[in-house]
Amino acid sequence: MRPSFVAGFAPIVRDVEASRAFWGDGLGIEMAERAPGYWATDDLPGLRHFGLWPLSEAAEACFGAETWPADIPEPTSGLELDLESAEAVAPAAAEMVTRGYRLLVEPKLEPWGQTVARLLSPEGILVGIVYTPWMHDPE
């Protein structure tokens, strides 16, 4: 078997309203309620990367240590939402903070050229608000 693309991603939610507020209101993913409690969209552009990220590497990326802090729930997965420019990352991260979400990683430029900010979703997904220059069409 060789998959052609990722057909879907759906966090498994415990609190629908908290999750809808995070993904919809906070991150701006427009969704409609298709069935009671099931919010979705088919209009979000595709996935450009799939990987298996060891927890120790996620901890290093977020905290500069090999172990995840005991006082922060361990993430269940990682998702990066790419923005239109590197300059858009800091204001987007600041908007999430004003909505009451805690940044684990303040906006920064990584050594490999990606601009990132990271936070946890209500479901325990490590969400990156990022700009990845090599994934954008050249101007």
What is the pLDDT, as a whole number, of residue 74? 95
For the segment 89-106, the average pLDDT, to the nearest whole number, is 97
Task: Kindly report the CATH number that applies to the domain delimited by 16-135.
Answer: 3.10.180.10
Domain ranges (residues) in the chain: 16-135
What is the pLDDT, as a whole number, of residue 5? 67
What does pTM read for this prediction?
0.87
Is the Cβ–Cβ distance between 92 and 129 less than 8 Å?
yes
Kindly write down the DSSP assignment for every residue of 95-132, as one continuous string.
HHHHTTPPEEEEEEE-TTS-EEEEEE-TTSEEEEEEE-
Residue 12 confidence (pLDDT) above 90: no
For the segment 111-136, the average pLDDT, to the nearest whole number, is 93
